[in-house]
């Protein structure tokens, strides 16, 4: 049983289906959908999805930038340029691309339901679990229950499954706040999205933007360092004026993108951190994705780590003689890597936010690519 039909849970469900392992997914929402905006699929994520049989869908729905650039916040001067496109395919065997979160979610859900129309049970908000030597039972707030050999919490950063497994930890406000928005590409200057994926950095500020949905939409995330406490929620509305005021010193092309944002597509959230867990499993219960390793967004690896988790866990379940063995192999393959990503994601923002913006290229020697994250293959890593 999987609790949560997000990107990680659906990746795991699809992996289990392809391995011939029976699976059921329980989702609290009454209808299946995904909030949010764009996300990055670095080659390690794309390769995992391709192995799930989604190569054609990725080609249709994802946008692979030819190159990326890091710009000076005020002048727009390129500080660092990174080639992508064909070079990434040659280096890693999979594309670097960007996609709307809802499109990726729909892609996964459609594939899962094509294999089993009844695999996803909606309207099932998790309440608690009980387990014994022969299995585990999940209880839901609607009065229903379900039993199986194992249960995996894929229920996000505020995971109720994790809360029952481990002592509650109060998340720590990082002093970083982020806005995310979507703007029609037709309403911004063409040079504002050249290259199709770019970042503007300045003291205490970071603006990331890229094209999605065939180049029709500009997705952006704007980060700032602030002392005032914020809500840890992706769905809190903000105003375009608030973002413009915060990025008043940024280049006109950045402000053009912000200014083109429809009011209903501007959101704000506070970023909170949690300590890495040394173990994710208790008996027949384990965790996946943000429920296991909630990751700050500064390396664009959060969704990718959940996809990798899903593939690796599906392999472990298919290749193990018991649930205990499967979870042991799963943790051995994943805990060290995801902990590294958690810790590095928390550190990299300091290099973006440093006051000496002009010297960024000199200190940009430790990032997701230099750490070797892109070479990872969730289908081939030893389990």
Characterize 205-216 residue by residue with b for buried, 16 or more Cβ atoms within 10 angstroms of its Cβ, and e for exposed: bbbbbbbbbeee
Model pLDDT, residue 231: 64
| Superfamily the domain 2-170+274-375 falls into | FAD/NAD(P)-binding domain (3.50.50.60)
How do residues 325-356 score in pLDDT, each as one tens digit?
Answer: 999 999 999 999 999 999 999 998 888 888 89
Query: How far lies 174's CA from each of 4, 63, 230, 348, in Å?
Result: 26, 31, 10, 13
**Phi and psi dihedrals of 38, rounded to 5?**
-90, 165
Model pLDDT, residue 367: 86
Cβ atoms of residues 327 and 171 within 8 Å: no
What string of DSSP letters covers 221-257?
Answer: EEEEE-SS-----TTEE--HHHHHHHTTTS-HHHHHH
**3-class SS of residue 281:** coil
Model pLDDT, residue 361: 84
Model pLDDT, residue 362: 79
Q: In the chain, where are the structural domains located?
A: 2-170+274-375
Catalytic site includes residue 220: no
- Rounded Cα distance between 5 and 76, Å, is 40
Model pLDDT, residue 233: 65
Cβ atoms of residues 20 and 318 within 8 Å: yes
Model pLDDT, residue 96: 97
Tally of CB atoms within 10 A around 266:
22
- Rounded Cα distance between 25 and 28, Å, is 10
CA-wise closest residue to 209 among 219, 201, 200: 219
Place of tokens 């309207």: 123
Low-confidence stretches of the chain (pLDDT beneath 70): 34-35, 229-235, 364
Model pLDDT, residue 313: 98
CA-wise closest residue to 193 among 218, 220, 160, 172: 218
Q: Which of 210, 220, 330, 376 is catalytic?
A: 210
- Rounded Cα distance between 118 and 38, Å, is 28
Tally of CB atoms within 10 A around 289:
31
Tally of CB atoms within 10 A around 111:
20
- Rounded Cα distance between 29 and 208, Å, is 30
Which residues are paired to 220 by β-bridges?
Answer: 181, 209
Model pLDDT, residue 379: 98
Structure-derived torsion over alpha carbons of residues 238, 244, 247, 248, reported in degrees to the nearest 10: -150
- Rounded Cα distance between 338 and 348, Å, is 15
**Secondary-structure percent of the chain, ordered helix, strand, coil, rounded to 5:** 40, 25, 35
Residue 282 DSSP symbol: B
pTM for the model:
0.96
**3-class SS of residue 209:** strand
Model pLDDT, residue 139: 98
Residue 370 C-alpha from the chain's centroid: 20
Pairing of strands 25-26, 120-121: parallel
Place of tokens 């994926």: 197
């Amino acid at each position: 049983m999987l609790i949560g039909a997000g990107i990680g849970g659906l990746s795991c469900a699809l992996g289990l289906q392809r391995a011939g392992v029976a699976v059921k997914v329980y989702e609290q929402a009454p209808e299946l959908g995904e909030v949010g905006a764009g996300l990055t699929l670095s080659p390690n994520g794309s390769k995992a999805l391709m192995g799930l049989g989604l190569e054609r869908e990725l080609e249709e729905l994802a946008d692979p930038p030819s190159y990326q650039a890091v710009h000076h916040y005020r002048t727009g001067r390129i500080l660092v340029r990174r080639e992508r496109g064909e070079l990434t395919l040659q280096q890693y065997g999979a594309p670097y691309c960007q996609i709307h979160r809802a499109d990726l979610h729909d892609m996964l859900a459609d594939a899962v339901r094509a294999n089993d129309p009844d695999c996803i049970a909606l309207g099932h908000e998790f309440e608690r679990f009980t387990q014994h030597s022969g299995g585990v039972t999940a209880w839901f707030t609607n009065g229903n229950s379900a039993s199986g050999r194992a249960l995996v919490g894929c229920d996000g950063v505020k995971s109720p499954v994790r809360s029952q497994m481990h002592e509650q930890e109060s998340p720590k406000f990082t002093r970083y706040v982020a806005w995310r928005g979507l703007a029609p590409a037709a309403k911004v200057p063409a040079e504002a999205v050249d290259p199709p994926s770019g970042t503007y950095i300045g003291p205490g500020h970071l603006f990331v933007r890229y094209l999605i949905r065939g180049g029709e939409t500009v997705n952006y995330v704007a980060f700032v360092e602030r002392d005032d406490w914020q809500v840890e929620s992706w769905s809190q509305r903000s105003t375009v004026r608030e973002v413009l005021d915060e990025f008043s010193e940024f280049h006109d092309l950045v402000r053009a993108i912000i200014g083109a944002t429809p009011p209903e597509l501007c959101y704000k959230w506070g970023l909170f951190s949690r300590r890495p867990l040394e173990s994710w499993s208790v008996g027949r219960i384990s965790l996946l994705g943000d429920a296991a390793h909630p990751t700050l967004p500064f390396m664009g690896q959060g969704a990718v780590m959940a996809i990798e988790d899903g593939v690796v866990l599906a392999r472990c379940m298919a290749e193990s003689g018991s649930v205990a063995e499967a979870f042991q192999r799963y943790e051995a393959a994943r805990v060290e890597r995801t902990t590294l990503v958690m810790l590095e994601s928390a550190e990299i923002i300091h290099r973006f936010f440093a006051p000496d913006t002009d010297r960024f290229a000199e200190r940009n020697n430790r990032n997701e690519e230099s750490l070797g994250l892109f070479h990872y293959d969730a289908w081939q890593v030893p389990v």
